[in-house]
A and B are shown apart, each in its own frame.
Chain A
Amino acid sequence: MNAETLIPKLGVVTDIRIDTPDVKTFRVVGLDGKKVFEHMPGQCAMLSIPGVGEAMFSITSSPTNTEFMEFSIKKCGCLTSWLHAMDVGQQITIRGPYGNHFPVEDALKGKDLLFIAGGIGLAPLRSVINYVRDNRQNYGKIEIVYGSRSKDDLVDYKEILDEWMQDDGITVHLTIDQPQEGWDGHVGFVPNYVKELQPDLSYTVLMCGPPIMIKFTLAGLKELGFQETQVYTTMELRMKCGVGKCGRCNIGSKYVCKDGPVFRFDQLDELPSEY
């Protein structure tokens, strides 16, 4: 870890992709054109525009991407609005990586993996999905359930269609909340869809999405017979330092920025439900 952890490095935005009406994906490299730092799937970074703000974002690109890092960011506040308004070539500050990561090299190795995401919740999981795709031999079956408000709100839609769905051994189930012209796929909320799909109990589940989706999906998984020990999620809370000192993301004796953001549900049971 960088000893001067509160002093950021410089990055430059080399590409901005419009994913949905309120989500853009930003490609970031250092001023030398290389990745600013290495990370593991599920880890986060602090991005900032000085004078506007600094906030924690999950790194959506896979560590197997050797050229750049990507961040899929939903426009929902002061800093994110600024980021959405900027152009390619803009410099930003970046520090990290922060937090733990999905246990891709131990607990998840050799396992069948079921990814469940809602809305922008796909961002942290995309890092794992692409890591697993690039290390395909280390994992079993892969199934992805992804839902959004509408077809236009599906993040990474092109990548899902052109890459994930073309891979052998990966099944992708998409769903949207309401029927929509030009959509002949599934319609309905993620928790119900997961129950309909009746995934095999051999799956280890990685889930991220809005709290309400997580709550009902977890309940549905338990009904199907899944144990909390086989379901992982990643959390977000307000953060300032990223290293467990500023006190903001404290839940019980844990700090989401350093002990999380990735937790197994049986671990969350031991914490106060203050998230």
Chain B
Amino acid sequence: MKALSLAKLPELFSLVASKEALYIPADDGAGSARFTRYTEGLEMTDKLNTVRSAKDFFFPQTENLVDFKLKGKEIEISDPRTEHEDFVLFGVRACDARSFQILDKVFLVDPVDTYYQSRREHGTVVTLACTKPEETCFCSVFGIDAAAPEGDARCFIEGETVYFEALTGKGEAFLETVSPLLTDSDDSAVKAQQEKTREILQKLPLKNLSLEGFGAENLLKLFDSEKWAELSESCLGCGTCTFVCPTCQCYDIRDFDTGNGVKRFRCWDSCMYSDFTKMAHGNPRVSQLERFRQRFMHKLVYFPANNDGEYGCVGCGRCLAKCPISMNIVKVAKALEGEVR
């Protein structure tokens, strides 16, 4: 394990930023945290998590896919991409780190999404262990250990020291970059911190959420549950849950006529929206009930059915904090418990 004095963290940031792009979670001036490109003087937030997840860095909210030029009846197609820059995403929490693996299961399976793949290849994820998980956190339900996050490298801030540990080749390369600043250290302080954090995790109110029975075997039973009507009744269809969610990955593809050619772009979309499935001849999901049900069925039943039981949720708690009508995946799972027991 490597160590650095906390006071020297800005020096580490400067060193990293001198070689490649660096993003750290920082206060946005309005009381919220977001991943921000590091410039001299930017300080890392002490907030537990960013309002938006870190998925933007691999699956940005909008991105240009293809360019077209139209001339009479002729069309010219070009790939607008240039080589993506290397970047370090620093201070990612355990929940978001897991979400990348879930997104990988969508974008990196055949046929590989090369837009996403390129960003994944160029990005190094340095995670930060949680020490103060909040009441909305339930990552442990998904087997995530907030005290020992996954990632290319991970760090632990304990007292006045930051401890580093590489987990992949990319993580080792990162530590190599900053090695002039690091000293060797034992892991006793980290072990003690992890023990304390795990004690807190054990006391969190949502840690006992059970998802037993949420699988392909109960797909139709859960789909046909009468509970959906009540659960979805107040849903505004605003899509906030999908936009803050680290694992929501549905997207739209649209064209924008710039006046000098057409840019085809993709952008985040939401199954909570009425036009998500709307076709010229009608809409198979006629009301908010069907749209609401789709989102939760996908995360709790359909995705695991296709991915060896892995749920499409990491328990980050963002949807719990942000839903304007206080509906969320925990309430849904609890309400449906009776259907699969």
Task: Please list the residues of chain A having a beta carbon within 8 angstroms of any beta carbon in chain B.
Answer: 1-10, 50-54, 76-77, 80, 87, 89-93, 236-238, 240-241, 243, 245-248, 250, 252-253, 270, 272, 274-275
Contact = CB atoms under 8 A, between A and B. Distances in A.
B253 interface: yes
A248 B276 contact: yes
Interface stretch (B14-22, B109-117, B147-155, B177-185): B109-117
A54 B68 CA distance: 13
Interface stretch (B73-81, B126-134, B187-195): B73-81
B252 A237 contact: no
Given A243-B111, A253-B302, A274-B284, A8 B77 contact: yes
> Which 9 pairs between the two chains have the least Cβ-Cβ distance?
A247-B250, A50-B68, A77-B280, A253-B305, A50-B262, A76-B280, A51-B262, A1-B111, A272-B223
Nearest to A92: B75
A25 B9 CA distance: 66
B82 to A, nearest CB: 15
Given A6-B65, A241-B251, A246-B269, A51 B111 contact: no
A80 B280 contact: yes
Nearest to B69: A50
Interface of B is mostly: mixed
A274 B75 contact: no
Interface of A is mostly: loop
B220 A7 contact: no
Contacts of B52: none
A1 B110 CA distance: 8
A88 B305 CA distance: 47
B106 interface: yes
Contact of B306 (A51, A246, A248, A253): A253
Contacts of A87: 73
Contacts of A241: 251, 253
Contact of B250 (A2, A246, A253): A246
A244 to B, nearest CB: 8
Given A51-B257, A80-B280, A241-B253, A93 B219 contact: no
B255 A246 contact: no
A239 to B, nearest CB: 10
A82 to B, nearest CB: 12
A75 B280 CA distance: 10
A253 B223 CA distance: 12
Given A76-B281, A238-B277, A272-B219, A247 B249 contact: yes
B198 interface: no
Contacts of B294: 250, 274
A253 B304 CA distance: 9
